[in-house]
Chain A
Amino acid sequence: MKWLFQPASLTQVTHLQRLWLYVITILAMAFLVTPTLVVIPMSFSESQFLEFPPKQLSLRWYENYFMSSQWMQATLISVKVAILSMFAATIIGTAGAYALWIGTVRFRTALWGLFALPLAVPVILLAIGSLFVFARLGLVNTTLGLTLMHTAMALPFVMIVMTSGFASYDMNQEQAARSLGANRVYAFFTVTLPQVKFSVISAMLFSFFASFDEVVVAMYISTGSGATLNRKMFASLRDQVDPTIAAISTCLVTVSILLLLISQLARSRRAV
């Protein structure tokens, strides 16, 4: 316990004096991850009802998920829309962030406001409004319709991530490339893009996840056979608590954990 009496900061506050902060932190961290982790054992329970810890283990809920053509179709639609939105939002958002970052365009502040707008608009409003508009255009229940909405909703995240990427990048580099004979486009792709690639990757992750995570708009403009995984989960969540959802959730959490661990390892590898 010697560490408790050692200084924790330049101001020589000891760890003991900060103990209350550490207690809050550990409680908060437990509060943050408990719900994410609690679904995992639940998903292996034999019982129809909630039991913790499960009395008997089984994979029946996983079977339920993977053998159901409806669940599989919904998953496929979600993944497809998320991938399409990811590429669309990253490309459109990066182009927009670049133009606004260079800064010679007119109405810069107003355009920033427009690109950030989806963050401020209550999603339910977008959902109902898009249903009304898309019904006229025949876009309800289509991949295109859902992709359009999810791309627009992911744009603010892409803009924020890319702008901070450009901000920490030395624009002199691009001037240097141009002085060496590269036109703007070539300079961007050979010099700027490789140096902001980590921002591009996180923009892609953000926009993929934003689409995959989205429920409300999907609730309105994707129904029946066109429903996304989230929409189907939400529907069965409201009707009754189906342990199949625990199995699906476990799959999703596993993917999240894997991605995080990979990024963590990549980061420590880079630090070496």
Chain B
Amino acid sequence: MELRVGKDGVRGKSLPITTRSLNKAYGAFVALKDIDLDIKSGEFMTLLGPSGSGKTTLLMVLAGFVRPDSGSVKFGDEEVIAKAPHERGIGMMFQNYALFPHMSVFANIAYPLKIRKWPKAKIATAVDEVLATVQLTGYQSRRISQLSGGQKQRVALARAIVFKPQILLMDEPLSALDKNLRETMQVELRAMHERLGLTTVLVTHDQREALTMSDRVAVLRNGEIAQIDSPAALYNAPRTAFIAEFIGESSLLSVSLRDGACFYRDQPIDVADNTGGASGLLILRPEKLEFDNAQRRRPDRNYFFGSLERVLFQGESSLAFVRLAGGELVTVRRHLNEANHEDFPAVGSPIVLSLHKNESRVVRDDRGQ
């Protein structure tokens, strides 16, 4: 089946990506360590991590621009590890677009087709079609310098998909756009992915972008995959403290395990999940904590006591800082509506917070690594 790009485009051919034992070191610095990654055909996979985590190196290995020290990369059943970038046939979007400034929009998009020696007429049709797909019909003869950031983004996408690759790689493609445009483009790229069905790998350091766009997210840290999961699973059930802090906001409370039960100071805590061992960290997401009332305790919730230090107004919500009895500072997000608009207790007054038991997870403390 051939992929047709167009308004009524059908899902096309795409390939799974499999990596095994990828290793790359730059001198003493280990950029990638035994990376085993399975990306399903048609999946949108995001590589997320702080700078220096190896996410870009991994993408460059897939593209063929970085040669690992050892390992295997397969597109489908084909081993591509020793192939040059131009033999891999994958589409790629670069940071800052990397559009050729000395060529028109048409020449940019036609470039991969000319290399593949398509006949002229077929090139013209293909460029027209792909421009329609990215909603830039009529822009053929524009110069790159005449385009806005969002238009450049679309031309870059058009150029990356026009030759019908089965895999699409994106290296922080939205980092150069301002916030509003970035959010629009996230939705558009995601919709485009659903339309085309290409196996897509995105690199980003923006966790919200990763959660918005991906089927699955692989979080990298120090050249290793720390956790790989769906966005929801990653957010709701982080496996370690690093993931909990990196994805979304959270306050972490030290808890200890005694006789099979979990304690915050001397107070027992009912937890849904404990992977933290003898002394782990309890994850407190700001929006999952509730201001509560000590009088009517509900059995399915854990309670924490402290005093209100400060309230920040943030538009749709307010962020309250509560100092717990143990001295930890915990943030609580409260969405505002008519009912609770201005009923925060006075700063300094005692506060009771509660968290549902099913949301109470204890994880291993790996922050210092």
Q: Chain A interface (Cβ within 8 Å of chain B)? A: 170, 172-173, 175-183, 186-187, 190-191, 194-195
Contacts and interface: CB of A to CB of B under 8 A. Distances in A.
Interface stretch (B94-102, B282-290, B338-346): B94-102
A123 to B, nearest CB: 39
A183 B160 CA distance: 16
A4 B153 CA distance: 49
A170 B112 contact: no
Interface string B75-103: 00000000011101111101110111110
Nearest to B95: A172
Contact of A178 (B85, B95, B99, B100): B85
Contacts of B92: 175-176, 179-180
B159 A180 contact: yes
Contacts of A177: 100, 111
Interface string B104-143: 0000000110011000000000000000000000000000
10 contacts: A170-B96, A172-B94, A172-B96, A176-B92, A176-B100, A179-B91, A179-B92, A179-B169, A180-B111, A195-B102
A197 B64 CA distance: 28
A181 B116 contact: yes
Contacts of B98: 170, 172-173, 175-176
Contacts of B96: 170, 172
Given A172-B96, A172-B98, A179 B90 contact: yes
Contacts of A173: 98, 100
Most buried by B among A172, A181, A195: A181
A40 to B, nearest CB: 40
A180 B163 contact: yes
Interface of B: 63-65, 84-86, 88-92, 94-96, 98-102, 111-112, 115-116, 159-160, 163, 169
A195 B94 contact: no
A180 B115 contact: yes
Contacts of A180: 86, 92, 111-112, 115, 159-160, 163
A221 B90 CA distance: 56
Nearest to A190: B111
A102 B22 CA distance: 24
A193 to B, nearest CB: 10
Given A170-B98, A175-B85, A195-B100, 14 more contacts: A172-B96, A175-B65, A175-B98, A176-B98, A177-B111, A179-B160, A180-B86, A180-B163, A181-B115, A182-B111, A182-B115, A186-B115, A195-B101, A195-B102
A129 to B, nearest CB: 41
Contacts of A183: 84, 86
Highest count of chain B CB atoms <10 Å: which of A172, A175, A179, A180: A180
Nearest to A172: B98
A175 B86 contact: no
A186 to B, nearest CB: 7
B108 to A, nearest CB: 9
Given A175-B85, A176-B94, A181 B101 contact: no
Interface centre among A176, A187, A191 (most CB of B within 10 A): A176
Contact of A175 (B89, B94, B111, B159): B94
B94 A181 contact: no
A190 B169 CA distance: 23
B190 to A, nearest CB: 22
A44 to B, nearest CB: 46
A173 B102 CA distance: 11
B126 to A, nearest CB: 13
A194 B104 CA distance: 13
